[in-house]
């Protein structure tokens, strides 16, 4: 009988401790819901709507779900791509507005680890496409409209722009062929073990673009203040 009473006492103690743990956990959850009411929306897993956007621009800083975090991560990559392209262009004001908006959203960002992991996975898988798209948009915006109507001038402008971004050309990006541009092309060709022809064409422009894009694809995906 003594042993039975002993086991019963242990069982009662374990039951009391389990009940206390459950009670304390309920108190903790109630406190979290009081501080962050939006948490209550995420307590039970549910299937995402079929038409849910992968990227959703946040309306304000604070707790963000996966689509909002993915938008932030993508925007950080876009801004990094835009920065060297628009730094001496007429789109600088537009870029600065986007930076200011991004920083305001990132200043007090909050997230759940699962949501961040999902967002990082999405953006990391699309980072090459994001860089390509951002580069194409920025280059289109900074190219003067009059050059877009002149195929040859547009090619020369692109070559000058990429050479400047890559550090081979220090002159003005005008779309006009000159000796400085030809010399920069030859320097690039020599450093890449190619024949130094100084020839400017669409093939060269695309080659330069691919090199610049490859250098601007982030190794890791993340965000923060700029």
| Rounded alpha-carbon distances, angstroms, from residue 88 to 26, 37, 83, 100, 215 | 57, 46, 9, 18, 20
**36 in any annotated domain:** no
**Residue 32 pLDDT:** 40
**Residue 13 pLDDT:** 59
The total number of structural domains in the chain stands at 2
**Residue 40 pLDDT:** 35
Q: Which of 124, 142, 160 is the last residue of a domain?
A: 142
**203 in any annotated domain:** yes
**48 in any annotated domain:** no
| Residue 189 and residue 136 in one domain | no
For the record, the structure tokens of 26 come out as 């309920």
Asked if 156 contacts 177 with a C-beta cutoff of 8 angstroms, the reply is yes
Integer Cα distance of 87 and 90 in angstroms: 8
**Residue 60 pLDDT:** 87
Task: For 107-126, write each residue's pLDDT tens digit.
Answer: 889 999 999 999 999 999 99
Integer Cα distance of 157 and 142 in angstroms: 11
Task: For 7-50, write each residue's pLDDT tens digit.
Answer: 555 556 555 545 554 444 444 444 443 443 333 333 333 333 33
Q: Which residue carries 């849910």 as its tokens?
A: 52
| Residue 132 and residue 161 in one domain | no
Q: How many helices and strands in the chain, by DSSP H and E?
A: 8, 2
Q: Which residue carries 């938008």 as its tokens?
A: 71
Task: For 64-103, write each residue's pLDDT tens digit.
Answer: 999 999 999 999 999 999 999 998 677 899 999 999 999 9
Asked if 163 contacts 182 with a C-beta cutoff of 8 angstroms, the reply is no
| Residue 105 and residue 132 in one domain | yes
**Residue 25 pLDDT:** 43
| Residue 156 and residue 128 in one domain | no
| Residue 69 and residue 126 in one domain | yes
Q: Kindly report the average pLDDT of the chain as a whole number.
A: 82
Q: Which of 99, 117, 142 is the last residue of a domain?
A: 142
- Nearest CA to 81 among 122, 148, 142, 125? 142
**Residue 224 pLDDT:** 61
Residue 164 belongs to what domain range? 145-214
**46 in any annotated domain:** no
| Residue 137 and residue 76 in one domain | yes
**87 in any annotated domain:** yes
Task: For 175-187, write each residue's pLDDT tens digit.
Answer: 999 999 999 999 9
- Nearest CA to 176 among 197, 201, 155? 155
Element (H, E) at 111: strand 110-111
**179 in any annotated domain:** yes
Task: For 136-188, write each residue's pLDDT tens digit.
Answer: 999 999 999 999 999 999 999 999 999 999 999 999 999 999 999 999 999 99
Q: Which of 142, 163, 187 is the last residue of a domain?
A: 142
**Residue 53 pLDDT:** 74
| Residue 119 and residue 156 in one domain | no
| Residue 99 and residue 167 in one domain | no
**222 in any annotated domain:** no
Integer Cα distance of 8 and 3 in angstroms: 9
**174 in any annotated domain:** yes
């Amino acid at each position: 009988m003594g042993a039975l009473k002993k086991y019963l006492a242990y069982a009662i103690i374990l039951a009391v401790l389990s009940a206390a743990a459950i009670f304390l956990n309920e108190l903790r959850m109630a406190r979290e819901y009081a501080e962050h009411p939006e948490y209550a929306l995420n307590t039970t897993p549910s299937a995402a709507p079929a038409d849910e956007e992968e990227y959703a621009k946040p309306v304000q800083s604070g707790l963000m779900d996966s689509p909002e975090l993915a938008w932030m991560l993508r925007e950080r990559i876009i801004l990094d791509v835009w920065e060297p392209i628009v730094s001496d262009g007429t789109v600088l004001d537009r870029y600065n507005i986007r930076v200011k908006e991004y920083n305001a959203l990132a200043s007090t960002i909050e997230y759940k680890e699962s949501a961040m992991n999902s967002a990082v996975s999405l953006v990391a898988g699309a980072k090459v496409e994001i860089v390509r798209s951002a580069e194409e948009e920025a280059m289109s915006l900074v190219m003067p409209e009059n050059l877009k109507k002149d195929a040859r001038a547009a090619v020369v402008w692109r070559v000058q722009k990429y050479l400047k971004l890559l550090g081979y050309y220090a002159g003005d990006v005008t779309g006009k062929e000159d000796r400085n541009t030809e010399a920069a092309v030859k320097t690039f060709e020599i450093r890449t073990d190619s024949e130094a022809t100084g020839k400017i064409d669409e093939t060269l422009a695309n080659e330069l673009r691919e090199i610049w894009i490859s250098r601007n694809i982030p190794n890791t995906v993340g965000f923060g203040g700029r």
